[in-house]
Each structure stands twice: as C-alpha cells, then as structure tokens.
Amino acid sequence: MREILLNRAAESAFDNPDTIGSLVDACGGHPRELLRLLRLCCEFSDESTITGATAERAIETLASEYRRFLEPEDYELLARVDLSPVHTGNDERTRRLLYNLALLEYNDGSWQASHPAVRRLAGYSQARERLVAVSEQ
C-alpha cells in the first residue's frame, strides 16, 4: 500500500513516514480508499507538505462519510465481525456493507473486518462495548 501511495505522491510530499503510515493504516488495505485519502489530503493541505494533522483530517472526513449511511444495526454487525472475523454469512445487510466498503473482505472472502475509519465512529465504539460486556457476563 505504501508503494501505491508513493507512486501517486513523492515521499517528500509528506512531513514524515508516520503520516504515510497513518494513511496506509486508515485505508484498510483497499487501494481506492488509499487514493481517496490522498485526494482529501491534497484538498485540505494549505502547505506544500502533507502533515500528520492534514492526514488526520482526511481520515476523520472519511469516517464522517461512513457515518452518513450506517444504521445503528450496522455498527453491531461490524463490531461482531471484528470480534470474530471468520466469514459470518452473506445476508442483505452484510452485502450492503461490503458494497459500501464499511466491511472489508480479505483472503478471498474467508476473513472480514470493519473499515478502519468506521472503527473511529462513536456508534461503532458503543456497539463494540455492548458486545464485549455481554460476552463477559
């Protein structure tokens, strides 16, 4: 993913390697999401260098875009998948989340995880906390 990013923007365009790393981590391994984050960074940057603060703003913007279409029940499903990433089925809700990239598939679909930007949302955090509390009882 780092190589993909650096094919689109020179390493000197970033203030430090950690900024590159945060964008790579936030894309969830999806090239289109990585380039989307890079585009947001370019839009937000007031300088010739993309800073960590600019990258953070881009990541938060991406998370906000997911918040617009996620329903409360979606957060619970995403948190459940993250707690047990084995393929959980293919119902309509799961397919919609996969299509919208809120849920990502890896290893030919046998392993799933929520998008890293989604994990930043309060709805996700609350759903995960509820599931963990129930499992500890």
Across the chain, mean pLDDT equals 92
Per-residue pLDDT at 11 exceeds 70: yes
Distance between first and last Cα of the chain = 40
Per-residue pLDDT at 109 exceeds 90: no
- Give the dihedral of Cα atoms 72, 78, 84, 89; nearest 10 deg: 100
- CA dihedral for 97, 99, 102, 106, sign (positive or negative): positive
| pLDDT tens per residue, range 30-48 | 999 999 999 999 999 988 8
| pLDDT tens per residue, range 55-82 | 999 999 999 999 999 999 999 999 999 9
Q: Who has greater pLDDT, 34 or 90?
A: 34
Cβ–Cβ under 8 Å, residues 111 and 105: yes
Q: How many CB atoms lie within 10 A of CB 4?
A: 13
